Amino acid sequence: MKTPGKRIILVITILSLVLSVIGAAGSAETAEPKGLYEFWSLDLNGEEVDQSLFAPYRLTMVNVWATYCPPCLHEMPILAELSETYAQQGVQIIGIVNDIDFSTQQALSQSVATARYIISETGADYTHLVPSEDLYNLRLKEVQVVPETFFVDSRGTIVGETVYGAKDKAGWIAIIDKTLALVDE
């Protein structure tokens, strides 16, 4: 037989659990969705870019890469081909060169020149961005490896899962198609 003291402890424990579940559910509903909102950056040609870059597209694949990364460079021709293939479906691919050196003007110029050379050699002539403070604060500070790829919708809201590492063409097609289906839901 339970004593009144044990019942009170049991009731308090159950109430605590219920309230924590309700609190977690409430905070999940009011949490801001993650995405690339209200940012400013430059592309590798020095042109200003902001979140309006996403508006004309149903889905944007954002591939974060580095000039020192062989898997990044290996998949760039594949991404260039997919950029052309998926353009008719409202999908764009952009790159963010994660290892631009801002320490001096000369280092910056050399970093950008290296990135441009790689883009030229790989045929990856889609838009590539320089990492800005805005992009860093909104998403790049979470980058764990390169290449790292994520997707955003026309408003810049992150859609689907982050992809770590390089993929072959069939792998990217499956991932893009799956993520497109999420946008269309």
Convert the pLDDT of each residue in 18-47 to its tens digit: 334 334 344 344 466 789 999 999 999 999
User: Does 15 or 172 have the greater pLDDT score?
Assistant: 172
pLDDT band (50, 70, 90) for residue 66: very high
71 & 15 share domain: no
- Whether 133 and 150 share a structural domain: yes
Report percent pLDDT > 70 for the chain: 83
Residues 47 and 23 in one domain: no
Residue with the bigger pLDDT between 104 and 1: it is: 104
Shared-domain flag, residues 27 and 44: no
- Report how many domains make up the chain: 2
In terms of domains, do 17 and 63 share one? no
Q: What confidence score (pLDDT) does residue 110 get? A: 97
Q: Is there a single domain that holds both residue 172 and residue 134? A: yes
- Domain containing 61 equals 40-183
- Are both 166 and 105 inside the same structural domain? yes
- The pLDDT score that the predictor gives to residue 185 is 82
At residue 12, the pLDDT reads: 41
CATH number at residue 168: 3.40.30.10
> Looking at the predicted structure, is the pLDDT value of residue 16 above 70?
no
Pair 107, 164 in one domain: yes
Mean pLDDT of 121-133: 97
Mean pLDDT of the chain: 87
Q: Are residues 164 and 91 in the same domain?
A: yes
Q: Are residues 49 and 26 in the same domain?
A: no
Residue 11 scores a pLDDT above 90: no
Residue of higher predicted confidence among 115 and 16: 115
| DSSP-assigned states of every residue in the chain | ---HHHHHHHHHHHHHHHHHHHHHHHHHHHSPPPB--S-EEEBTTS-EEEGGGSTT-SEEEEEEE-TT-HHHHHHHHHHHHHHHHHGGGTEEEEEEETT---SSHHHHHHHHHHHHHHHHHHT--S-EEPPPHHHHHHTGGG--SSSEEEEEETT-BEEEEEEES---HHHHHHHHHHHHHHHT-
Per-residue confidence (pLDDT) for residue 14, from 0 to 100? 41
- Kindly indicate the confidence band of residue 162, based on its pLDDT and cuts at 50, 70 and 90: very high
Question: Are 169 and 98 found together in one domain?
Answer: yes
Whether 7 and 70 share a structural domain:
no
